[in-house]
């Protein structure tokens, strides 16, 4: 870890030559593209899993031009569709012989339901990454030592798990106002931390480790689906207090690359550092197990 001016940086010198990295979604903008750029510069084969092919191809050309690494590839994926997740996993396993690093970076704030009947935020931010991780787990194990990095948010502290709402409505909460939708986002980010915690327990004895993290308040497109008035309100705050994409990518890169943190699998990071004062609800054994089992049921795995 290294501080340059006011920017805390992942200063790992680890190369990634010969490694395959799967980065999803949002790898065509913001911290997703910045992370992909860094990993490509280190020599990794980087696969950008995105919904928008046109935007992804523009980002790929920029990354190739900037890094000289020709091994930057687009694969179609829509996390709002469990069928799309399954098709993606099938295609990936047929085309790629290894997977060294899986970075789950889903973080939408958008209402509505998916074609599967789940809340949009629940599906994109949690169920899709959950299902994909499990479908690719054997490949991760075969490629070990490998890592799973789940990008959460400090918003998880405001989240809670309402299993009654989940089972009854297949959603993290009720209501469609922006503030209600934002609460669902916080709930989904708690899901990310709980999923990482439970995954680490189930991976014990394997050569796969996993980490969750808060990237910081980032100037990204996460508010692109917000109302006009909310966007008007948030923009000045974003300009004054939010990090840029380079700063926001640092903790993701730390968890992806830093040697010697394998014993911290399942833990939560911020500012390129382990967070030891995490709220008990984010490391509750019964809650993480129940969320895992319900997620398996929703995804048709149990």
In a domain, 6, yes or no: no
**Residue 66 counted as domain residue:** yes
In this predicted model, what pLDDT tens digit does every residue of 66-125 receive, in sequence order? 999 999 999 999 999 999 999 999 999 999 999 999 999 989 999 999 999 999 999 999
Residue 75: domain span: 20-299
Predicted confidence (pLDDT) per residue in 27-46, tens digit: 666 788 899 999 999 999 99
Is there a domain that residue 2 lies in?
Answer: no
> Does the residue 285 lie in any domain?
yes
DSSP 35-89: HHHHHHHTT-EEEEEES-HHHHHHHHHHHHHHH----EEEEE--TT-HHHHHHHH
Distance CA 43, CA 56 (A): 19
The residues annotated with a catalytic role in the active site are 185
* 240 is a domain residue: yes
CATH no. for residue 101? 3.40.50.720
The angle, 0 to 180 degrees and rounded to 10, between the axes of the packed helices 250-257 and 30-41 is: 40
9 within a domain of the structure (yes/no) = no
Per the structure, the count of domains in the chain is 1
Q: 11 lies in a domain?
A: no
Averaged pLDDT of the chain: 89
Would residue 203 count as lying in a domain? yes
| pLDDT digits 0-9 by tens, 219-263 | 554 444 445 554 555 444 444 444 566 888 999 999 999 999 999
């Amino acid at each position: 870890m290294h501080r340059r001016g006011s920017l805390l940086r992942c200063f790992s010198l680890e190369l990634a030559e010969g490694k395959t990295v799967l980065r999803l979604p949002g790898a065509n903008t913001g911290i997703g593209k910045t992370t992909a750029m860094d990993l490509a510069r280190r020599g990794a084969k980087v696969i950008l899993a995105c919904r928008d092919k046109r935007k992804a191809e523009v980002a790929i050309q920029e990354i190739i031009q900037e890094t000289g690494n020709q091994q930057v590839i687009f694969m179609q994926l829509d996390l709002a569709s469990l069928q799309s997740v399954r098709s993606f996993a099938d295609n990936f396993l047929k085309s790629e012989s290894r997977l060294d690093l899986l970075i789950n970076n889903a973080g939408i704030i958008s209402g509505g339901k998916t074609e599967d009947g789940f809340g949009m935020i629940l599906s994109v931010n949690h169920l899709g990454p959950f299902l994909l991780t499990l479908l690719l787990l054997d490949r991760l194990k075969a490629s070990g030592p490998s890592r799973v990095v789940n990008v959460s948010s400090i918003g998880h502290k405001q989240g809670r798990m309402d299993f009654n709402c989940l089972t009854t409505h297949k959603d993290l909460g009720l209501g469609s106002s922006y503030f209600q939708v934002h609460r669902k986002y916080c709930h989904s980010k708690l899901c990310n931390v709980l999923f990482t915690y439970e995954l680490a327990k189930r991976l014990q004895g394997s050569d796969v480790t996993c980490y969750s993290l808060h990237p910081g308040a980032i100037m990204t497109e996460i508010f692109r689906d917000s109302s006009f008035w909310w966007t008007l309100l948030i923009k000045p705050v974003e300009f004054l207090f939010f990090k840029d994409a380079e700063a926001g990518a640092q903790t993701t890169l730390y968890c992806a690359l830093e040697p010697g943190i394998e014993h911290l699998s399942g833990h939560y990071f911020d500012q390129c550092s382990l967070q030891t004062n995490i709220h008990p609800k984010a490391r509750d054994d019964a809650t993480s197990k129940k969320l895992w089992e319900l997620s398996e049921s929703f995804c048709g795995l149990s």
